[in-house]
Every structure is written in structure tokens, then in C-alpha cells.
Homo-oligomer: A and B are copies of this chain.
């Protein structure tokens, strides 16, 4: 079972949920009820989602919980009860994970692991097929140098793909969509779009922490001070300079490398589409608009998917509002089948 599955079960209305969960402690606080009795509030994650549970001082697992540390790896087993104040431990056992279990947990749930492995291969493949040698080299160097961190990063802290590897899934899906549209809009410079997709959110690797052995993520100071767009621009500038003497940058070819660099940076700078959403410039080339819409399309579909899974629908198929989506999602129309 994963924390994401637990979240989905809660959205479906479960009240007493049997859990069997390897996870990492995100935060541990000892608080005190009105009557002075202490309880523990434990936040845990397995990289697919996070939840909080309260363990009361008279619960058998209380002493073990007190010994936990933030960042520790544990196995939660038992029954959680949903209350108006959040989850409460009912029959709960807690034990540390074995070293093997830790590695397994860090690797992610097997199916997601396989899925993300495939996604990563796709990304490598798409970038490998870029015809402009400068852009191809740039993309592959990024993957070599920061691939591991890239594979761990969430695409956002809250809104969409907010889980370990979410950024990779988002980028892979956008690259697929770009390839699909290539024959429809043959005049677009798809080399530029592809490498723009790879780098558009690359600043997020530093905007949020995503350590090798930490499943939770949090904002970083440099993320607060600059935001991911300037960080991504800085990354491309650094890689570009490092690579500027490599053979791929010395081949005779058009357009000039400096033009390519400026257009690529424009894609990163403008990908939020409007200045009020944090882009210092608005899109001014066909490739910038293509990237902007592919990004939004994939993000909105992921937000709706999460809303359908993680919030509650009423009898008429109307779901709860889930920011940043403006309205309340409505159950989609099933595909036709004759009966």
C-alpha cells in the first residue's frame, strides 16, 4: 500500500482503514490536549503523497513513536480512523525498516519505478534525436550531470505531479505530445521545443530540495529568493559555457550558437505565459507558445486526475474544488459503448 492509495481511500469515504505502509518520518511533534495529556502528531510520506496521524498518549504505540526521529524510516501497520480532526491511530504498530526495506522504499513503488524508468528512457531517446548538435549535447549533458536529481524531483509542491519523479513524468509526457504534434505543425522548430521542454522547469531541482535519501521536499532559500525560472536560466548558461569548447559546439552549422542560446532561454523565461504568473517576458516566438500550451495542457490534465482521485464527488458527479483549478471538476463523460 502507498500513501497515495491511502489518500484515495480517504477520498472515497473510508473511515477505518487498514494500513501496511513503509514510509519516512517528515515531522514529529509532541503536543498536549486540553486535559494536559500529551499526544504525538506524526507526518509521514513514501514519496507518493504525505499524511498526518495522531497517536494518543494512552495508545500502545505511543512509547515507540516518541523514539522516532525526523527522517527516520518506519513501517506503519494497523488501523487508522478518520476523525473530524484528521487521522487517529486505532490499532497501530510501528517499527524501523530494515536496510533492504529502506532501499526498496527509496526506489519507489515497483510499478511507479518501472513507469518512471521507461519515462526516463523516453526522455533520453527524444533528446538524443535532436538534430542541432549544440542543443542535443546540452540536453544530454544535463541528464548526465543531474539525471539522478531530475528523476527524484516533484513537478510542484502542491498543484500537480507533486510526488517523487513527478517532474520526470511531466517532461516525458510533454515530449510525447510534442512529437505527436510535429507533423501537424511542421514549420515549428521542434529541436528547440524539445530541449525547451527538458529545461523549462529544471530550476525546480534547486527551488525545492529533493535529496537522494529524503522523500519529503521543502522550499529552499534560493528558490524563495529567485524562483525556478531564473535558476533554470542560470543552469543553462552554466552548461552552455562549460560546453562551449566541446566538439559539438565547433561544427560548422547554422544558426549561430548565440542565437540558439537566446531562443532557448526565452522558452524558459516565458513558459508561464503571462508576467503575473512569474514570467519576466511573454512568449514571442512560435516555439515559446507551443511549450507554454503543452505545459499547461499536461498540468491541467494531471490536476484533474488528482482531483478525481483525491477529493470527494457528490451524487451528481460534482467534485470538491481543488485549487488552483477555478471551478469544481465534473465527472468526465465515459466513452461510448453500445449495450
Interface residues in chain A, defined as those with a beta carbon under 8 Å from any beta carbon in chain B: 15, 31-34, 36, 56, 81, 83-85, 88, 131-133, 135, 173, 176-177, 180-181, 183-185, 188-189, 191-192, 218-222, 224-227, 229-230, 233-234, 237-238, 251-255, 259-260, 262-263, 265-266, 269, 275-287, 289-290, 293, 296-297, 300-301, 304, 314, 316-318, 326-339
Contacts and interface: CB of A to CB of B under 8 A. Distances in A.
A255 B296 CA distance: 29
A15 B276 CA distance: 40
Given A275-B276, A280-B229, A318-B219, A336 B304 contact: no
Contacts of A290: 297, 301
B32 A284 contact: no
18 contacts: A32-B81, A173-B184, A189-B332, A191-B336, A222-B262, A224-B284, A224-B328, A225-B284, A251-B338, A254-B339, A255-B334, A260-B333, A263-B332, A285-B304, A289-B297, A290-B297, A293-B293, A293-B300
B180 A183 contact: yes
Total identical chains:
6
Contacts of A229: 230, 280
A272 B266 CA distance: 19
Contacts of A285: 225, 304, 329-330, 332-333
Contacts of A266: 225-226, 330
A43 to B, nearest CB: 14
A17 B114 CA distance: 52
B85 A265 contact: no
